[in-house]
Chains A and B, each alone.
Chain A
Amino acid sequence: MTTLAPDTKKPDPRLVEETYGPSVIEERPPEVARSVGVFGFFLLGGTIVMLAWNAIRYALGGPDTKLPFFSNNWIVFCGVTAVALLYYHAAFDRALEVRRAYGILAWLVLVAGGLGGLFWTVHQWWGTVAAILTAFLTGLISVAVTVCPWVNSVRNETPEEALSQTPEASTADTSAGTRSAWANVLTWPNALGQFLGRWNNLIGTDVVVTRITFGAAALVALALVVVALLVVRFQWPALPTASNIALILGLAFLMTAAKHESNEVWRLAASYVLAYAGYIAFAVLALYIVRDLVVTTEGGLFAPVGLLAGILSLLFLLAHINLAGTDADSSYYAATICLVFGALLLGLLSLLRALLPTLAFYLSDTWRPSAYFIPNGLLALILVLVQLTVGLVTVSNNQLVAILRRELLAYFYTPAAYLVLAGLAIIAAIQYLTWVGILHFAARDISRREVIYQEPVVQYYFYGLLPVFALLAIPPFLTMRLFSEEKRTATLEVLLVAPVSETTVVLGKFLGAWCFFLVAWGLWFVFPLIFRFLMGQPFDYRPMLSFYVGTAFLVMSFIGLGVFFSAITDNQVIAAVLSYAGVLALFVPQLLYWQFTWAGRGTGEWLVKLVQQLSLLQQYESFLQGQLYLQHLLYHISIAAFFLFLTVRVLESRKWK
């Protein structure tokens, strides 16, 4: 047996593995991502400035000051947009420094979020300030180090060269001439980078350079956090939301960084941090459920804290499973066991608690536990059901689930997922601004008894040009590549030659796109959460739930249609155009309905009724009113089923063509 040399020359590991990370298929120029990131960074800076100004104003003049201030809405809007843009940058700029910068940022945000959650119990708002400051300062320093050309240029020299070269000479190279002291002050990132680069070069390799650089950044940031903790001693009720948002953001950024991380140790560290964070959150969830079971005199404390902890534990454990992989390694088993058996146990416990009042009625004459099922018991049961399902899906060997998982993950390898997520976040932010504006005027008008605003107030948040546009535009965008890409690259042949039926393939892809849409669509809930917890404004949130369920069914038809059109062509653009045409065709009853109602003539009562039932916006509105009509749901399910059936036939048609 002759053994020949491997067919590729061993590439420069620094270039391939370290600088660009293992997740790069082709080296895309990072300019676009970088400009997006810079823009996001400026927005984040703006957010921080506004927050800081409000804090200063508050500190100077107290609550009754007449000094101008920034509205919370603008702060939220800028902050969210900034985070969305930065996330896009984090996902698509794979340069070593950038992704490590974001990685460290994410660590610190996570830690800050955890600390915030810890301080929550004592209601200290400096936890939040610490979290925000940490994130901001670390980001500032890390990006300064990253963008400055000095670190890159110095690093390739030998230590001797670096030592012999004077800083003045090099500065003269880059800026070509004299430079005032003021200019030097302005280029402080450059100076810092110069210092760090030079220092690191004396120490060792590139990786060490970067690590020490960011280690230093982290230390500076931590020192500032301590300062912040010492300086600020106010109380602030926004802490729980802020710390939860920090935890989720930290998770998202850390996940992206870890995905691209080439160094095994770093990747494992991130993976296990996520796992333990998930276990801790799960323990909190368990604590609340057990507490509710033990203390039966009150209605139960599960709803805000336990629920949030449960959602967080699900997200963290899922991230861990994704990083660890459910394949070669067995470390994910612990997480899955926690999700499946833990959730099963907790589900039984909360079911028991929900049944306690009934049981007690029969068993005892004196013991009367309080009612629990609505809303606590129901929420707990839904939560553990979701956990159980997700846990089972991650370990399932089912072919359908295998395809679903692949499709779901495939979205995150292309900009598509990030574009959809960022776009939806920004649309939600805009809608949120409008909504808060409307509520503001509503408060004024109601006091003057002028205008009547209808009750589910969330409808002013969900009903508008942009949300409807997003609902119509996103599904074809998600489905266009499902089959067309596989046809173009001929992977469809490989897929169908595996012992898997066409129906399974079609269903798997459909469910993948649908699940991704559900996750993205869940972004709508972020802002009402902020509204509720950050600003302390209670409102009727239940129409949101029916809206979510209703729209989930509504897009089923769009996605089914998109899957079909993507199966009949091998061109993504054609698939997308056809799918948009199909979505518009589904929109036709709406146009007819407008026509009929505007014309106002007797067009036959039954026809108007029929058209009304079929028109999408009427359905959308009824979902917002908290009404889920079975005929609406069945309408979309049957359209989806029809197109999926056609897709299966299209795939089979290769056999009888």
Chain B
Amino acid sequence: MAMIEVRDLTKYFGNVLAVDHVSFSVDKGEIVGFLGPNGAGKTTTMRILTTYISATSGWAKVAGYDVMQQSHEVRQNLGYLPEQVPLYPEMRVEEYLHYRARLKQVDRRQRNRRVEYVLERCRIVPVRRRLIGTLSRGYRQRVGLADALVHDPPILILDEPTSGLDPGQQQETLNLIRELGQDHTVLLSTHILPEVEEVCQRVIIINQGRIALQDRLSQLQRDSHIVLEVKAPEQEVQRLLQQVEGVRAIHTVPIEDGADGLCAFQIETFDNRDLRLAISERLLRQGWPIRRLDLKRRSLRDLFIQVTAGRASSYAA
């Protein structure tokens, strides 16, 4: 069942086209990464999903409710963490979460339990009596997440939940999101790619308001090539490699310290087959010492740059 369903969503700010016929859906229990360069329309799309603003055309359903017509029901089923985590600096953490729980109409018998639960879950118990204004960025982020979680929504929409955090905090937040993915459907926007590789099952890359790519992460990362560094005459190695069954193309790669007869290759294979054993067997038979033989998957980073590359040219034009 699709928890989030978006069809042909378009948003103009005046004459500026921010989101251009975006369609995607997120299934129950998925953690989906929503990627794109700054200004690609991620936040706008998310704001439309949270009912904060409305689309110019197209429609979106969250938890089966239309964001335009049934905005109240949508908001009841949705936890949202905005990018800058705006909080009231003058309230205490505990006080704030109770206020939010009331506002989100958490049942009064459940309220204390829910607040205790999110305090624990987001690891903010030690600062529960502190004023939010005195908290560090990392704690503020967690308070924001606790707020998003407090009414136990089936869907979480997190806008750059790790921006501005140090690596340790990023890791912690990601672990938390991964845990949350077990009971919640999560749509997570970011432009930090290793994060996505770590937690998301699926990615949607958006560029200039348009969806550039969407697929399962495992599918995207299928492309691979073999990297080889060997101390041998280059021509002979090439000839040898061409004899290996399944090799599609061989590229020579310049090597920094290639002075003493070392040469490097990038080998593409049919169907992304792993030919490392076959290659090493051949090379060893010739008695050539191998410095490196590696299967390299295509990284999300490469893909992202490739997909969003058009941006640079459009700026130039």
Contact = CB atoms under 8 A, between A and B. Distances in A.
B229 interface: no
Given A328-B115, A413-B90, A499-B104, A5 B131 contact: no
Nearest to B132: A25
A437 interface: no
Nearest to B78: A497
Contact of A491 (B51, B88, B95, B133): B88
A493 B108 contact: no
B275 to A, nearest CB: 36
B139 A8 contact: yes
Interface in B43-87: 47, 50-54, 72-73, 75-76, 78, 80, 82, 84, 86-87
Given A491-B86, A656-B54, A4 B168 contact: yes
A497 B100 contact: no
A496 B52 contact: yes
B90 to A, nearest CB: 4
A497 B75 contact: yes
Interface of B: 47, 50-54, 72-73, 75-76, 78, 80, 82, 84, 86-92, 94-95, 98-100, 102-105, 108, 111-112, 115-116, 123, 126, 129-131, 133-134, 136-139, 147, 165-166, 168-169, 171-172, 175, 179
Contacts of B165: 7
Nearest to A20: B134
A318 B227 CA distance: 73
Contacts of A491: 86-88
Contacts of B104: 498-499
Contacts of A489: 86
Nearest to A3: B172
A650 B275 CA distance: 65
9 contacts: A16-B134, A23-B131, A328-B98, A399-B102, A402-B102, A406-B91, A490-B82, A493-B47, A494-B86
A25 B105 contact: no
B94 A2 contact: no
A397 B88 contact: no
Q: Which of A405, A498, A500 has the most CB of B within 10 A?
A: A498
A25 B84 CA distance: 19
B75 A498 contact: yes
A36 to B, nearest CB: 21
Nearest to A501: B72
B86 A410 contact: no
A325 interface: yes
A624 B58 CA distance: 60
Contact of A7 (B51, B116, B136): B136
B147 A494 contact: yes
Given A7-B138, A7-B166, A25-B89, A328 B53 contact: no
A327 B91 CA distance: 13
A327 B87 CA distance: 19
A500 B103 contact: yes
Given A497-B50, A499-B72, A2 B175 contact: yes
Closest 9 CB pairs of A and B: A25-B133, A7-B138, A413-B90, A327-B98, A490-B86, A499-B75, A402-B102, A491-B86, A4-B168
Given A25-B133, A498-B75, A655 B53 contact: yes
A325 B102 CA distance: 14
Given A7-B166, A328-B115, 13 more contacts: A2-B175, A5-B168, A6-B123, A7-B165, A22-B130, A327-B111, A327-B115, A397-B108, A414-B90, A490-B82, A493-B82, A494-B80, A497-B80
Nearest to A8: B136
B89 A493 contact: no
B95 to A, nearest CB: 7
Given A6-B126, A498-B103, A493 B86 contact: yes
Contacts of A413: 90
Nearest to A402: B102
Contacts of B80: 494, 497
B172 A4 contact: yes
A654 interface: yes
B136 A325 contact: no
Chain A: interface secondary structure?
Answer: loop
B95 A327 contact: yes
Contact of B90 (A397, A410, A656): A410
Interface in A318-363: 325-328
A248 interface: no
Contacts of A501: 72
Contacts of A493: 47, 52, 82, 86
A380 interface: no
Contacts of B112: 327-328
A24 interface: yes
A490 B52 CA distance: 12
A160 interface: no
Contacts of A7: 136-139, 165-166, 168-169
A649 to B, nearest CB: 15
Interface in A606-657: 654-657
A402 B78 CA distance: 20
A298 interface: no
A491 B112 CA distance: 24
A2 B176 CA distance: 10
Interface string A171-190: 00000000000000000000
Contact of A399 (B103, B108, B136): B103
Interface string A494-516: 11111111000000000000000
A397 B105 contact: yes
B138 A325 contact: no
A494 B147 CA distance: 10
Contacts of B82: 490, 493-494
A497 B90 contact: no
A33 B221 CA distance: 63
B234 to A, nearest CB: 45
Contact of A499 (B52, B54, B76, B92): B76
A1 B178 CA distance: 10
Contacts of A23: 131
B103 A497 contact: no
A403 interface: yes
A10 B94 CA distance: 20
Contacts of A405: 99
A499 B105 contact: yes
Interface in A8-66: 8, 16, 22-26
A325 B95 contact: yes
Given A8-B139, A23-B131, A399-B102, A655 B54 contact: yes
Contacts of B131: 22-25
B133 A497 contact: no
Contacts of B52: 493, 496-497, 654
A328 to B, nearest CB: 6
A28 to B, nearest CB: 12
Identify the interface centre among B86, B133, B168: most chain A CB within 10 Å of its CB: B86
Contacts of B53: 654-655, 657
Contacts of A6: 123, 126
Interface string A387-405: 0000000000101001101
A656 B68 CA distance: 11
Given A7-B166, A406-B99, A655-B53, A327 B94 contact: yes
A474 to B, nearest CB: 21
